[in-house]
Amino acid sequence: MKTNWTIPIALLLSSSLYAADPLPSWNNSAPKQAITTFVEKVTTEGSPDFVPLPERIAVFDNDGTLWAEQPMYFQAFFIFDRIKTLAPAHPEWAEKEPFASVLKGDLKSALAGGEKALVEMAMATHAGMTNEEFDKIIRDWISTARHPDTGRLYTEMIYQPMIEVLTYLRANGFKTFIVSGGGIEFMRPWAERVYGIPPEQIVGSSIKTKYEVRDGKPAIIRLPDLNFIDDKEGKPIGIHQHIGRRPRMAFGNSDGDFQMLEWTTSGSGPRFAMIIHHTDAVREFAYDRQSHIGKLAKGLDQAPNLGWNIASIKDDWKTIFPTDN
């Protein structure tokens, strides 16, 4: 069959504004309509809901919203891999929890110590080097490490429908930000390539750093002290610190995002919130109220009253991962 390429090429070249369907991986159900209706409304000049360009700020949680988060936050896999790599220099870890369990491959016991154990492991693996050394460690890891269940690179487990939302919003003048409980320096080395989100538009948890001139060479040294936890109430605080303007749109998936969505939608004028509900046990993972990772209960209960949208992965996403097609 002879194909006429004229129309497809014209569509590729045209702005998403005029493309036939800016969100092809979404089913034509309510959540997709809610996104496009909101964007059309706030970008129509002369409309009472028009939002000027500088105020078009959209914030996205990362784990469970832009990429998967099961069976553990992907940053935890990084931490475990680092502990294994660093173990020869730390013979004491063989006897010391939670490190000993990690080295035995018993991740459940390693995580039994809860947040305290996780912070201890994070400090042992995220501090003690310059920011540039850490950047390289992350780049090396993210380009080689693979998810234990799917065998895919972690960056192949991003959500294609959300990549389309990011692209669609940027084509409509929105600045897109990540606001994640994950480490800010864990995300920066790859988020620009993978999501099109530059380092200066990433908000996350952080450890303290100090500036030092070593042998005549200035460096930023990563210290084993918590600086900021960008989760729950921390998300509006992080937004305020980094962005200094209340977002117009917010996307999250767990109760850790509740305050970010609440802060976003309680401003004046048009506001938009969407919760990604993990409902698809076949194509992804199904979890909500009882889950340790990505627990979602308060959000499900309150979303209807608050006018927040809920996207069900099973029902509303045609494709999940970019390589699914």
**In the complex, minimum distance from the CB of residue 298 to a second copy, in angstroms, rounded to a whole number:** 13
**In the complex, minimum distance from the CB of residue 198 to a second copy, in angstroms, rounded to a whole number:** 6
Angle subtended at Cα 200 by Cα 81 and Cα 145, rounded to the nearest 5 degrees = 20
**Looking at beta carbons only, is 164 or 185 nearer to a second copy?**
185
**In the complex, minimum distance from the CB of residue 87 to a second copy, in angstroms, rounded to a whole number:** 29
Residue-wise over 211-250: b if at least 16 C-beta within 10 A, else e? eeeeeeeebebbeeeeebbbbbebbbbbbeebbeebbbbb
Output the DSSP codes for 252-276: E-SGGGHHHHHHHHTSSS--EEEEE
**In the complex, minimum distance from the CB of residue 272 to a second copy, in angstroms, rounded to a whole number:** 16
Give 181's Cβ-side CA count (13 Å radius).
23
**In the complex, minimum distance from the CB of residue 222 to a second copy, in angstroms, rounded to a whole number:** 10
HEC-encoded secondary structure of 51-95: CCHHHCEEEECCECCCECCCCCCHHHHHHHHHHHHHHHHCHHHHH
Identify residue 28 by its one-letter amino acid code.
Answer: N
**In the complex, minimum distance from the CB of residue 142 to a second copy, in angstroms, rounded to a whole number:** 16
**Looking at beta carbons only, is 104 or 193 nearer to a second copy?**
193
Q: Are strands 249-252 and 57-60 parallel, antiparallel or unpaired?
A: parallel
Residue 139 CA to residue 119 CA, distance in Å, equals: 22
**Looking at beta carbons only, is 191 or 320 nearer to a second copy?**
191
**Looking at beta carbons only, is 261 or 320 nearer to a second copy?**
261
Residues in touch with a second copy (CB under 8 A): 54, 57, 131, 175, 177, 184-185, 188, 192, 198-202, 206, 209-211, 213, 217-218, 220, 233-234, 236-237, 240-245, 259, 262-263, 266
Q: Are strands 309-312 and 175-183 parallel, antiparallel or unpaired?
A: unpaired
**Looking at beta carbons only, is 5 or 211 nearer to a second copy?**
211
**Looking at beta carbons only, is 262 or 288 nearer to a second copy?**
262
